[in-house]
Structure 1
Amino acid sequence: MIGHDRTGVQPGEGIVARFGAVAAAIGPGPDAFTDPLLDLLAEPAAPVELLWSVAALVASRRPDVPPFVLLVGDREDRRVVRYGTARVLFDGAEPGSGDVWTWREDPVPAGTHTVALTVVDGPVTPHPHTNLRDGTSRGTGLVLQVDGGGPRVPTPPTKPAPPRSPGAQPVASQAGFAPVTPAHPLDEPTPALGRGAPVPAPPISEVVPGDTVVLAADLLALESADGRRIPLDRDYVIGRNPRQDPSVTAGSASPVRVPEDDNLVSRVHAFVDVRGDAVVVRDSASANGTFFARPGDREWTRIGREPVQLALGWSIRIGRQVYTVVGKDSG
């Protein structure tokens, strides 16, 4: 796992990226390679499966593949993969390259404190006022602080969830997280928003100006219908091509790509802002709108000019994709 210290960006023409424990530097090149590569890196996957997917992408795009270098894996087994003229430095020392026809894979040596990834020659000098936490930015290299490896720290056992009262409906349940009871009890069955098989969207009601509520402090994530979770610890841009938004390019927000073939989702569709214990969603003046629903609602409410704060159990709909606010039990 990459440490919590600064992840400096080396300025230049290229793309640098960080998605959790995955980091990359990509040289200038065609979008037909760079965009699908970034999509692969942003999707959660086992390191070996990720590298096989990248290898297939390289094979399908040759010879129009720019130099790139990837850092993948966990603290027990991290690897750096280099393609073309891309370089890596472990604590300032560059391993030998040799005569490589395709790409080179290097394990991160035990005890390493910094890993520098770059696609240009010379020293790797990050700008002192940069710190890429997640997402993409312009640049030709990254300098990352990493832990030094070694045995994993045992995870404390999960505290059992307290008993639920009869009739309480859990919003979400995954390994390690206790079920969450909706903010408003359900008087009768309602369609499960964002859970299980796709559900037709309920009728849309008129905009409710200023209809907001403060988010509970035990918020964990937005969860999509397929079970993927977006941790609500940073700002996000959601859309069909959210990487084009300036806040993503600058590294102050992370992209959430919603692939849809029927043009219901705009390139930059909505923004999710984390403000302390509150999560605020706002529409970007998209063509088809962003909608929200409370637990028990049978209709979606379109978000107007004013942003809306979400509470546990609330859902938002963007195109056909539904995300539900879920959290772990605080008792």
Structure 2
Amino acid sequence: MTLLAETSTSPALSHVPGHGVLSRQGELVLLCDAAPERESQIATLLDALSSVAADRGDGRDLGRRLAGLLAAARGDEFPALCAFGPAGDGIAVLLHGAAEATAVGPDGETRLDGRQAVIFVDRTLPGPVTSLRAMVGESSGALAPDRWSRLDSGVVRAQALVYGPDTVGPPAQQESVAPAPAEPSAPSGQPMLEECSMPAPPVAEPTVVEARAGDGGSPIEDLGVLGTYCRNGHFNDPRVRYCTGCGVSMVHLTHALRPGRRPALGVLTLDDGMTFPLEEDYVLGRHPYEDELVAAGRSRPLEIDDSTGLVSGVHTRVILDGWDVKVMDAGSTYGTYLRSDADDQWRRLPPHMAVPISPGTWVGLGGRCLRYDSCRNP
């Protein structure tokens, strides 16, 4: 089942006949996958859309209403969906499950994928947004809207939709934004997530780390580790096959371990594109400056702005242990989640347990996610 949506400055809304559900109430639009066993959940979604529209709410109000339903749900109770509506001069978009959206605005294209979050992706895009395309499910090919059909209000069966000028062609297949296995992001500590099955990413066995001040990671001022030098003098992880500085082979060198200053182990990339070099430990959350390790100068704060309200003040720790990168949930209310390139599901971390992660791993907290990447090649 594939569902597509496209929005533009024109209010015209055409649809591609199919087995999904498409509803429009004013300028609020909901597109969701449909199956007989999800009828009650679909009815709940449609009621939420109608209620927000009756209250003259905008896209942000719709997003908040749907986010509450999704966060309180258990397992995969709700179908994949994409909902959007105006928010000031921009547009607010919420995606859940196998849903993708591409918006064209003043900064070019912005691509979102509901699979980047554990529960949902909720973003307000600055305007003017000239077009927005969305798809729920998998498409078997190009889907052309029926240009002679138009939905001004109500509910219809649809496999896809185009919200914009009649001249707009069918939405193109989109790549997932980010990254990753089946991208990643928004966690939740609701009972739903406690019970869902989340295979662990292919990483080493977890190492228990006490979460107390002074014992949560390497001090920022002390980055010395044991490693090996290539013939050009670059300091490396002793497990790599090629120098990360110049690319020469490390295979035939005598691997005598010598102390040195550890280079950055890679980068953390947030779902909004911001990057942070992994040169020291990080504390992630709404108020990371309140953490004792940050106050002691042993970790760097990374403030996470999240409209879902699911991110704790001190939520997650990223710990550099020798040449390894580890992630630990700091006892957050809604949990920290991991997803690797080899997985299509999220795994919730036990609190206060540091787990090594490999490049390509996604970390989900609240409605946000970030990805760990590295040029190292052990």
Larger Rg computed on CA atoms:
2
TM-score by length of 2: 0.34
TM-score by length of 1: 0.39
